[in-house]
Amino acid sequence: MKKLLAMLLAASMVVSLAACGGGGTTSTPAPAETGTTETTPAETGSAGGNLVGVAMPTKDLQRWNQDGENMKAQLEAAGYTVDLQYAANDIPTQVSQIENMIANGCEVLVIASIDGEALGTVLDQAKEKDIPVIAYDRLIMNSDAVSYYATFDNWNVGVKQGEYIVEALDLDNAGDKTYNIEYITGDPGDNNINFFFDGAISVLQPYIDAGTLVCPSGQTEKQTVATANWASDAAQSRFENILASYYADGTQLDVVLASNDSTALGVANALASSYTGAYPILTGQDCDIANVKNIVAGTQSMSVFKDTRDLAAKTVEMVDALMKGSEPPINDTETYDNGTGIIPSYLCEPVVCTTENYQELLVDSGYYTEADLAS
């Protein structure tokens, strides 16, 4: 009896896990990161399915867990066998994971790089073996082994953050009023920061030029405001320093342009510990659970939602086409030059998320449950 119960329990767990993956529910808790094998391809059991290697950067940030799980579930549903690896944000680990994928006979590689500049040599091996490479979310630079790029419209992510700021501060009607702004973006090895940051600045530049937006710390250059590994604790300590040095005398901080949620979280923590003025506008990106809670609580103004289910689905279509020798879907052949030429891309659409629409966007769509967002 006990045995039967245990079997039934195990079976129901398998069913509910499958339903979770297949339905795209994304509140996957992050399992401990080993930096080595995450999934044993042989265990996935899709008989005769061709092997797809999926290399993800880290389990530290919520979105990559969702991306990996969504892609694995969708690829398996399409009949492929998946070798999914996370590299603990360690470049040599990611390189050796990709080497193993090539050695193990993966027929397509999907790679979200840690450092877009660091994979040239290992990808030469893929090219020699005619293995197509899809750069996932982050463009892999200076390698002619990259066949396709699946991502979001990253420039538009920045533009939406910039537009949000312009509207929230009503900058077009600012007159002589000035507003204090500080900036933070992500890892300098991530090509995406050029799109996020420059996209936002393209909207804010006229107001900076007019003297309406002023940066008291003087830290305005992309490289200066970058954050290694997009780490929240690094963001927090940089902002604690900024707040202590430039705002401790009561100077009002009006707005922080943060490129994503992990950096916004660090900023919010710094504000909580080291700032007593009126709360600034704070942008973000990804709609990570902690940040959606902050949006609801009023300590983050907005995030940009990038539905990882859509990106996974598009990437699976690309893999499927490559496996079958047909043309993968692309909708952009102009924007993303990786140093060897334009990489044909599919860009999914980002959407602004605020208190106004988070329920519809995130909960009603099944991306999160109410329980995920309960404080």
For ligand BGC, the binding residues (CB under 6 A) are 61, 63, 137-138, 186, 190, 192, 230, 260, 262, 285-286, 306
Beta carbon nearer to ligand BGC, 35 or 186: 186
**Cα–Cα distance, 197 to 216 (Å, whole number):** 19
Beta carbon nearer to ligand BGC, 180 or 291: 291
Q: How far is the CB of 349 from ligand BGC (least distance, A)?
A: 14
Q: How far is the CB of 44 from ligand BGC (least distance, A)?
A: 26
Count the neighbouring beta carbons within 10 Å of the beta carbon of residue 230. 27
Q: How far is the CB of 62 from ligand BGC (least distance, A)?
A: 9
**Cα–Cα distance, 300 to 291 (Å, whole number):** 7
- What H or E segment, with its residue span, contains residue 173? none
Residues contacting residue 241 through CB under 8 Å, at least 6 positions apart? none
Beta carbon nearer to ligand BGC, 240 or 286: 286
Q: Tokens 């694995």 — which residue? A: 72
Joined tokens for residue 19? 């339903």
Q: How far is the CB of 285 from ligand BGC (least distance, A)?
A: 6
How long a stretch of residues is the chain?
375
CA distances from 57 to 19, 179, 209, 371 (A): 25, 37, 38, 27
Beta carbon nearer to ligand BGC, 63 or 238: 63
The CB-nearest residue to ligand BGC is 260
Q: How far is the CB of 257 from ligand BGC (least distance, A)?
A: 14
Beta carbon nearer to ligand BGC, 156 or 260: 260
- What H or E segment, with its residue span, contains residue 258? strand 255-258
Taken in order 215, 217, 218, 223, is the CA torsion positive or negative? negative
> Which one, of 66, 15, 76, lies nearest residue 46 by Cα?
76
Cβ proximity of 234 and 266 under 8 Å: yes
Beta carbon nearer to ligand BGC, 230 or 247: 230
Q: How far is the CB of 261 from ligand BGC (least distance, A)?
A: 6
